[in-house]
Amino acid sequence: MHPIDLAVVVAYVALITFVGIRFAQRVKTAKDFFLAGRSLTWWVIGLSIIGTNVDTNGYIGASGNAYSIGIAQANFEWIGAIPAMIIAALIFIPLYWRAGVYSIPEYLGLRYNQAVRVVAAGIVVTVSVFAMGVAMWALAITLQTFIGWPIWLGILVSGTVVGLYSVAGGLGAVAVTDSIQVCIMFLCGLIIVGIGISDAGGSASFVAKLTAENPTHLQAYLPSDHESYPWHGVILGLGLVLSPAYWVGGQAILQRTLGAKTQWDASAGMMFAAVAKTFVPVLIVFPGLLALVMMAEIEYPDMALPWVIKNVLPVGVSGLMFVAIIAALQSSIDSSINSTALIITRDIRHVLMKNHNPESDLKIGRILTLTLLLSAMCIAPYIGNLGGIFNFLQSLLSLFQGPMLALLLLGAMTKRATGTAGIITLVSGVLLAGILSWVVELNMLYVAFFTFCYAVPALWIISGFTKPHSDDHLRNLTYSPWANSNANKPSAV
Amino acid sequence: MELPVIWANYISIGLFLALGVGVWSIPKSAVVPEEYAGETWRDLRWWATGLILFQIALYTFFR
């Protein structure tokens, strides 16, 4: 690595650490630690959501995919995100905010029962621990590729930097550092677009060179017999189930909206994130297309982005781009750790330990954050040996998303769904997803869609035979803007 | 009969139009707090409309 690039990396690490530790001085209570004392403004929330969302798979994997399949990769950022983000901003976030909850499992516990809360919390924690290990491993691989550091050193250094601000500063530090990281990511993306199009001889020349060899690379959808992304599966599985489940039920994503200053800031934060999300393909899809246009000689598609950094970007900018990749990974790790610590502290510990002391939540939260970080650092070196880990993580997610979305959707939009029906539907839906995934060996996009199609009628029918909550109990837990709008203060928490 | 791939674009555009109708069925009072009632830029339904129109443009262009 060139000394100028190295200086850029060191300056970035120093800036992030300084900002994070500054925030640590503001943390006095568990609410400060987990919800930033409900002080976050809409633009910080929006940038932080994007920082949390664009992760390992998003950066290096998406560029590789774009190299292989073209602009169709952008469906994950467009139809696979924007509609769900709009629905989350206008319907679900106001609902969670008014309910005054810290987490999505807590909302499910209030809306259904404590069994649903604990099972949902268990699911979130399981997926998060795997995701953290994967992100930490990818970060170490990135450091090894670019600087030549051994894996253990990469994990130790990156874990220490993330730990310094997320253990000390909680959600406030995480959200502000995420915002800085996203600004760096977009700056690098724009520089790559500028240099790439200029090197290709202008935008018309870029498009001509791209489509000459790859005529379908500028088509948004792939044929229905495509192995990984058939268009039916993308619309039904990704657009209608996986994406809404992620954006209306993803704890790491929604936690920063629950830390908003007002309900409007919470919703506007998600809407601003949707605006930024629309342009994320510039960061993660364009480099893959650029590698094609520049006739990159690479062994496999995931090398597209590293090739662009090495061969297209000038000194200094390549250091900044390297920082952007580290930032994408760090902002996902810190968010996962903070939200997982919250769920263990409140949704598992508070429910299972009847004599817990809420005053100790801050201390417990910090200890858990540190423990989770150390666990991820210990798991990370072994993740590489599992092979196909990203696909495994995606499959694991698709097991839960269908039933979880059904519970959130019917729970929020109707008063009919009952606690007993909720737990039966959640457990049976996950079992069905397991059978469809591992026995029938169905594409994960279809698994999500079919389990959702099972869970909605199952929840509706079983609820007819079981006792519902009273209307009074459900007042702040179901969405009815025509009857009760404009409650701009959360319930007591 | 197998639908051609271009239908995926048509279906996407249809879904975005339906979402637009849904967005404008939400009353303004549920989106904009009373203290901001006079500030049009705080009406998130307009933000959503801009996003939806841009998405329709993208799926019209990349087909």
Q: What was the pLDDT predicted at B9?
A: 93
Q: How far is A182 from chain B (nearest CA, A)?
A: 20
Q: How is chain B classified by DSSP, letter by letter?
A: -PPPTHHHHHHHHHHHHHHHHHHHTS-GGGTS-GGGTT-GGG-HHHHHHHHHHHHHHHHHH--
Which residue from A89, A222, A482 is facing B44, i.e. has the nearest CB? Answer: A89
Q: Which of A326, A294, A327 is nearest to A310 (CA)?
A: A294
Of the residues A45, A75, A79, A92, the best mutation for testing chain B's interface (the one with the most B CB atoms within 10 Å of its CB) is A79
Are A486 and B30 an interchain contact pair (Cβ–Cβ within 8 Å)?
yes
Q: Is A386 helix (H, G, I), strand (E, B) or coil?
A: coil
The answer to whether A347 and A103 are in contact (CB under 8 A) is yes
Which residue from B16, B27, B45 is facing A485, i.e. has the nearest CB? Answer: B27
Q: DSSP letter at A442? A: -
Of the residues B3, B9, B44, B46, the best mutation for testing chain A's interface (the one with the most A CB atoms within 10 Å of its CB) is B44
Using an 8 Å CB-CB cutoff, list chain B residues near A83. Answer: 15-16, 19
Q: What was the pLDDT predicted at A485?
A: 46
> What is the C-alpha to C-alpha distance for residues A76 and A278, in angstroms, rounded to an integer?
10
Q: What was the pLDDT predicted at A488?
A: 47
Which residue from A91, A223, A278 is facing B54, i.e. has the nearest CB? Answer: A278
Which residue from B8, B19, B44 is facing A235, i.e. has the nearest CB? Answer: B8
**Any chain A CB within 8 A of the CB of B19?**
yes
User: Domain count of chain B?
Assistant: 1
Q: What was the pLDDT predicted at A421?
A: 96
Give domain status of residue B48, yes or no. Answer: yes
Q: Which of B18, B8, B4 is nearest to B59 (CA)?
A: B8
Q: How is A23-69 classified by DSSP, letter by letter?
A: HHTT--SHHHHHHGGG-B-HHHHHHHHHHHHS-HIIIIIHHHHHHHH
Q: What is the pLDDT along chain A (493 residues), one digit of tens a residue?
A: 678 887 888 888 888 878 887 778 778 889 899 988 889 999 999 999 998 888 645 777 888 889 988 989 899 899 999 999 999 999 999 999 879 888 999 999 999 998 999 999 998 888 787 677 878 767 777 777 767 778 778 888 878 888 878 888 899 998 988 898 789 888 889 888 998 999 889 989 999 989 887 888 888 999 988 878 889 899 988 898 889 998 989 988 888 898 998 989 999 999 999 999 999 998 889 999 999 898 887 877 877 888 888 788 887 888 887 788 778 877 888 888 888 898 988 898 878 876 667 768 888 898 888 888 888 888 777 766 555 555 666 677 778 789 989 999 899 988 889 999 999 999 999 989 999 887 887 877 888 998 999 999 999 899 998 878 898 888 789 887 755 444 444 554 4
Domains with residue ranges and CATH for chain A: 3-390 (1.20.1730.10)
Give domain status of residue B1, yes or no. Answer: no
For B19, which residue in chain A has the nearest alpha carbon? A83
Give domain status of residue B57, yes or no. Answer: yes
Q: How far is A155 from chain B (nearest CA, A)?
A: 39
**What does the CA dihedral A59, A83, A392, A447 come to, rounded to 10 degrees?**
-160
Q: What sections of A312-441 are H helices per DSSP?
A: 317-342, 350-352, 361-383, 389-413, 419-438
Domain that holds residue B20: 6-61
> What is the C-alpha to C-alpha distance for residues A115 and B16, in angstroms, rounded to an integer?
37
Which residue from A219, A235, A263 is facing B12, i.e. has the nearest CB? Answer: A235
Using an 8 Å CB-CB cutoff, list chain B residues near A270. Answer: none
Q: What was the pLDDT predicted at A384?
A: 63
**Any chain A CB within 8 A of the CB of B32?**
yes
Give domain status of residue B12, yes or no. Answer: yes
More confident residue, B4 or A108: A108
**Any chain A CB within 8 A of the CB of B24?**
no
Give domain status of residue B40, yes or no. Answer: yes
Q: How many CA atoms lie within 13 A of A205 on its CB side?
A: 8
Pull the structure tokens for residue A478. Answer: 């179901």
Pull the structure tokens for residue A11. Answer: 């300056």
Give domain status of residue B31, yes or no. Answer: yes
Using an 8 Å CB-CB cutoff, list chain B residues near A219. Answer: 5, 62-63
The answer to whether B52 and A79 are in contact (CB under 8 A) is no
Q: What is the average pLDDT across B27-36?
A: 84
Q: What was the pLDDT predicted at A295?
A: 80
Q: How is A187-253 classified by DSSP, letter by letter?
A: HHHHHHHHHHHHHHTSHHHHHHHHHHH-TTTT-S-B-TT-SS-BHHHIIIIIIIIIHHHHHHH-HHH
Q: How far is A153 from chain B (nearest CA, A)?
A: 43
Show Cβ contacts of residue A109 under 8 Å, excluding neighbours closer than 6 positions.
Answer: A116, A117, A118, A347, A351
**Any chain A CB within 8 A of the CB of B10?**
no
Q: How far is B39 from chain A (nearest CA, A)?
A: 13
Q: How far is B46 from chain A (nearest CA, A)?
A: 10
Are A485 and B29 an interchain contact pair (Cβ–Cβ within 8 Å)?
yes
